[in-house]
Amino acid sequence: SDSHFPVPVSPSQFEYSLHYPHFYPSEETNETDVGISSAAKTQPKIQFADVGCGFGGLLVSLSTLFPDTLMIGMEIRDKVSEYVKERILALRVANPGQYQNISVVRTNSMKYIPNYFEKAQLLKMFFLFPDPHFKEKNHRRRVISMHLLDEYAYTLQVGGTIYTITDVEELGIWMKSCLEEHPLFEAVPREELEVDPVVKLLTSATEEGQKVARNGGQTYQAVYRRIAAPLVE
Ligand code: SAM
């Protein structure tokens, strides 16, 4: 249950130095910075979140594409999140200086997004091949819903992007219609999707995407942008 994993009480309590030691060197080890208070140093924040990251394939691909951007995978299954953690540590050892910008937390993203990210902190959120929850009474357990989109809109900067993809047609239609109806999101135009290097990774980088591609399955994607709230007179 949730009581088995720690959740930061607020985003400021998230332990950046544990997850990204290369970006948050400790005072003792960083001799060149002696005399500069830690508050004066740049303190990068997480900007990409892969929600329900599974085995972490997307993070690994994004890491080298955006080496200066901090990213986090959120995964509810203990063993899977442990696997991702080990995978990242092994990559860091094998490739010195690389893969320092990615990490993972075991958490329930449907409950704790606001504990991890401040208002307008994120640039990109990913929901790749989420669990479908077919039954009507289980739709409230879907990771995209009108209520959860309010939270994601809060967390994303204006101009930030939400990427969704699934091989389940019904879920694809559901995710797209939620995003379409939500007043704080608009579809990213096709021309922009074609030149966005991240879009190609939706099917090629994740373990689930690769499985679907191997089986020749169809996918349904919806990529939407966070827009400013309409002005009310
Ligand atoms: N995105 C990955 C991919 O494309 O390969 C994994 C897809 S897998 C079908 C869905 C993942 O979401 C599972 O690993 C599952 O444990 C995770 N998940 C489901 N509900 C979650 C929640 N509330 N919070 C965090 N992760 C969740």
The 10s digit of each residue's pLDDT in 149-173 is 999 999 999 999 999 999 999 999 9
Q: What is the predicted pLDDT for the residue at 81? A: 97
Catalytic residue among 2, 78, 131, 150: 131
167 CB near ligand 1 (under 6 Å): no
**Gap from CA of 206 to ligand 1 centroid (Å):** 11
Predicted model pTM: 0.93
* pLDDT digits 0-9 by tens, 28-44: 555 455 554 555 467 89
At residue 104, φ and ψ (nearest 5 deg) are -145, 150
CA angle at 157 for the pair 170 and 186, rounded to the nearest 5°: 40
Report yes or no: 67 and 98 within 8 Å, Cβ to Cβ.
yes
Q: What is the predicted pLDDT for the residue at 37? A: 52
153 CB near ligand 1 (under 6 Å): no
Assess whether 2 carries a catalytic annotation. no
